[in-house]
Amino acid sequence: MRERVASAFRAVARARGGARAFHPRGRWCAGTLTATFDPALPLPEGATEVAVRLSKGAGTPGGLPDVLGMAFRLPGPWDVLLSTSSARVVPRPARTWSSARYGSVTPFRSNGRAVWLAAVPEPGQTRAADLDAMPDALRFGLEVSGPWRPVGTLVVRPSTEAVGPPAFDPVHNLPAGVDLAPAVLARLRDWAYQGSRSGRGALIE
């Protein structure tokens, strides 16, 4: 099973010319994440500068709708991958960067509980999801589930200097005491990421 999954994603990455199997088109941005303490997830308190990759899941051109992605690395390292979704677990195509909430899709398991993380766009931001025509800033409120409550903010700004890691690993780059759930889906994601990285020759940092 492991090799079949990895091979499939390796083939997709190669067919895309060495791009990611999913979210092949993306743009690196500068971000400022500001969080408060919450026992659900160990987000770094205060302001943290992060490189953010905004992306389109299927790689649609221009401002065409797509499942939009947002990825960033926190100290630790902790790789956080979010995508536009509804009902926590259902990917949702969006036409603008601010027309849908970005969720972790699968939960984190922390302190024996399943916890979802979401980035909720502030109202009034209507720029089309075009990677080549980014707004000056995108502002999000960060929330965790159980029940949903605010834990911070994330401001994303386009930048020609922001550069992130060659590959994210949300399965292994996690803070102590936090895992992805369920375990079987985490294994499938791990194999898929391995295949995609192999297909495009990317390394993990």
Task: Give pTM, 2 decimals.
Answer: 0.87
Alpha-carbon distance of 115 to 41, in angstroms, equals 8
Alpha-carbon distance of 154 to 194, in angstroms, equals 29
Alpha-carbon distance of 168 to 100, in angstroms, equals 23
Alpha-carbon distance of 187 to 97, in angstroms, equals 30
Alpha-carbon distance of 113 to 129, in angstroms, equals 34
Task: Find, among 148, 189, 146, 158, the residue nearest to 29 by Cα.
Answer: 158
- Alpha-carbon distance values, 164 to 29, 40, 49, 76, 136 (Å): 9, 26, 12, 15, 19
Per residue of the chain (205 residues), give pLDDT as tens: 867 745 655 654 565 566 565 678 899 999 999 999 999 999 999 999 999 999 999 899 999 999 999 999 999 999 999 999 987 788 999 999 999 999 998 999 999 999 999 999 998 887 899 999 999 999 999 999 989 999 999 999 998 887 888 788 999 999 999 999 988 877 877 666 665 566 666 655 4
